[in-house]
Structure 1
Amino acid sequence: MSVRRLRVGVVGAGNIASIAQLPSLVARDDVELAALVTRREDPEPLMRRWGFHRAYGTVEDMLGSEQLDAIFILTPRSEHVHAARSALEAGVDVFCEKPLATRLDDAEMLERLATENGRVLMVGFNRRFAPVYESGRAAFSAAGATFCVAQKNRAGSEYRATFENAIHMIDLIRWYCGGEPVEVTARAAGGDQWQEDGVAALVHFDNGHTGVLMAARNAGNWGEKLDAYGDAVSAEILAPDSVRITRDGATAIREMTPEAYGWATATHTLGFAGAVDHFLERVRDRGEPLTSGREAVKTQALLEWILSAAGLPTEEQVGREWSSHAKK
């Protein structure tokens, strides 16, 4: 029996979208890329490359002209709220790149709107779908790991570096530790609060578990890793390449080498493809996504707690836009 193709709209087709979500969407036989919202004066090259049927200049134009099952919002974060709200109010399921919003109250509003309208809302915390992180989390019970140390370090900072990049590791700490945060201490480095040299944080959860965040922006190179311990189990992850699980004195190693993982790209090893597939499955079965709007709100609330504890701002700098993802 054939499966009805999902009509999907995409808002923004810049660098990250071209590397991460769009390749996963075009690889699926059950998806029709119905429409694209782009600011390019000539959208034809993008339409030909990805197979979009039509292009629009605004989200409102697309939603008013198309019958869509879902949209993917892949724009800079300052534009997430407007696009997500418009889609949810129009009765369309939403996949939104992280973070859901630049302010916690806006994220909460979108989560409420999705619930009230019975829509699927998922946020692109792709690390939860990366094979190495999935394997590490599966080594522990539903209660989670007693201790989790998550690091995302790199050379060179950027505007609101902790908000933009360390949020992935904060989400992983929540996922691995379980429970709700009850105490946070944090310290920031550097003299520029808008472009800091990094943040370290200690998070205590109501189930007795503890998470440690290290997000250095003055490191020698890029590196991402996570160690978790509990119930006589150790999980050591070097992302996106390997995971070591030790229990009962025996260690199992899984490596995501090109030979072992079918010459996979970062689209697969970092979980972008898994996140896309998970969202589309939830669109069909109406289940709650692993990284739902509700989960995204909790992660953003913990992020803001860490920022406040470190003496960093929790809102955008007036007159300054974040522009890592090219606006396309």
Structure 2
Amino acid sequence: MSNALRVGVVGHGNIATIAQLPTLVTRDDVEMAALVSILPDPEPVKRRWGFQNAYPTLEAALDAQELDAVFILTPRSEHLAMTKTALEAGVDVFCEKPLATTAAGAQMLAETAEKNGRILQVGFNRRFAPVYAAAHDSFGETGASFCVAQKNRAGSEYRATFENAIHMVDLVRWFCGGEPVEVTAYAAGEDKWQEDGISALIHFDNGHTGVVVGARNAGGWNERLDAYGQMTSASVVAPDSVTITRPEGTSLREMTPENFGWATATETMGFAGAVHHFLDRVRDRGVPLVSGAEAVKTQQLLERILEVSGLPTDEQPGRVWSSHAKK
């Protein structure tokens, strides 16, 4: 297309390979202009996804050609510097969650995006998952009076709550609405940098209540959400089903039958929807559902939960990421 969006992608790890990259190549209005890779030979990755050029750094890519948008799909420690570089170069940015390693850093990036008139979206993909979106919509603008969001797994990892339970914090904010006014939270485990889990109770200024559970000593992977209010109950078993119950009856929506057995995580977990939403906002200049400013609020609430529970709110100097999570 003559008006194709010139897109750059920084990073091509596991999530990028199953989520953002497969979605980008389906768009006929996207030009895969630049790949940024630390590989000594990025040619196989470049060919696989149809990139026109490959560069060792984001700065090199921005110096060499004009880009309309950049996807920052790197480890979180690199998000702040790369996102700031792209925004100040006049490029719209999709950044994986979390936006930065601290809420203060995320706030700075949101302000940088606003100052430069750029679109900034953060990869809280659950908001675009069909089952979560259907449950959310069932409560309308009023939101859910009560919401319990859980993401449990067998085996912990470095800063497990910050890395994983942040999705549930974002969902509780989205479902309940309002601003948090009171937070109670407890962590489990002897290593505060690799906790066994967390539970949190959040009271919002509109009277709604949210509960977050992130157990990393569970028997297996499990993600679900239950919400109540306005004579409506919504139950999500992610990413497969959502049940909506009202006095007049119950409806069940299941992803696998709906997709004739071909449901994939790219679609059902909201990764594809998030990418499409961002690219559409780049074109129409609208505010993303999970803008930088919105993501900051989620990260600020998460930091409150970490502080109250006694967990660290910043990275441990010299600590290398590790995971004992089981699939």
Q: Give TM class, smaller chain.
A: over 0.9
Q: Following the alignment from structure 1 to structure 2, what is the Cα–Cα distance between the partners of residues 230 and 171?
A: 19
Query: How far off its partner does 1:264 sit?
Result: 2.1
1:175 aligns with 2:167: no
- Residue aligning to 2:191: 192
Mapped contact 1:76–1:323 kept (Cα < 8 A) = no
Q: Following the alignment from structure 2 to structure 1, what is the Cα–Cα distance between the partners of residues 242 and 124?
A: 19
- Residue aligning to 1:106: 105
Q: Following the alignment from structure 1 to structure 2, what is the Cα–Cα distance between the partners of residues 121 and 323?
A: 29
Unmatched runs of 5 consecutive residues or more in structure 1: none
Q: Following the alignment from structure 1 to structure 2, what is the Cα–Cα distance between the partners of residues 157 and 286?
A: 39
- Residue aligning to 2:45: 46
CA deviations 1:271-319 (Å, max 9, x no partner) are 0000000000000000000000011000000000000010000000001
- Residue aligning to 2:258: 260
1:74 aligns with 2:64: no
Q: What's the TM-score once normalised by structure 2's chain length?
A: 0.97
Number of aligned pairs?
322
Q: What's the TM-score once normalised by structure 1's chain length?
A: 0.97
- Residue aligning to 1:27: 26
Mapped contact 1:132–1:242 kept (Cα < 8 A) = yes
CA deviations 1:46-75 (Å, max 9, x no partner) are 001000111111111111111000000000
Query: How far off its partner does 1:104 sit?
Result: 1.1
Give secondary structure in 2 for the equivalent of 1:142: helix
Which residues of 2 match residues 112-261 of structure 1 at below 5 A? 112-257=111-256, 259-261=257-259
Mapped contact 2:5–2:31 kept (Cα < 8 A) = yes
Seen in structure 2, the aligned counterparts of structure 1 residues 131 and 196 have a Cα distance that, compared at 3 Å, is same
Q: Following the alignment from structure 1 to structure 2, what is the Cα–Cα distance between the partners of residues 143 and 82?
A: 37
CA deviations 1:3-38 (Å, max 9, x no partner) are 711000000011110011000001111101100110
Give secondary structure in 1 for the equivalent of 2:140: coil
Unmatched runs of 5 consecutive residues or more in structure 2: none
Give secondary structure in 1 for the equivalent of 2:258: coil
Query: How far off its partner does 1:202 sit?
Result: 0.1
Letter in 2 for 1:53: Q
Q: Following the alignment from structure 1 to structure 2, what is the Cα–Cα distance between the partners of residues 313 and 261?
A: 42
Mapped contact 1:78–1:321 kept (Cα < 8 A) = no
Mapped contact 2:157–2:322 kept (Cα < 8 A) = no
Q: Following the alignment from structure 1 to structure 2, what is the Cα–Cα distance between the partners of residues 62 and 238?
A: 41
Mapped contact 1:235–1:243 kept (Cα < 8 A) = yes
Q: Following the alignment from structure 2 to structure 1, what is the Cα–Cα distance between the partners of residues 150 and 222?
A: 8
Letter in 1 for 2:36: V
Mapped contact 2:157–2:321 kept (Cα < 8 A) = no
- Alpha carbon RMSD of aligned pairs, Å? 1.0
Q: Following the alignment from structure 1 to structure 2, what is the Cα–Cα distance between the partners of residues 119 and 323?
A: 34
1:279 aligns with 2:278: yes
Q: Following the alignment from structure 2 to structure 1, what is the Cα–Cα distance between the partners of residues 27 and 187?
A: 43
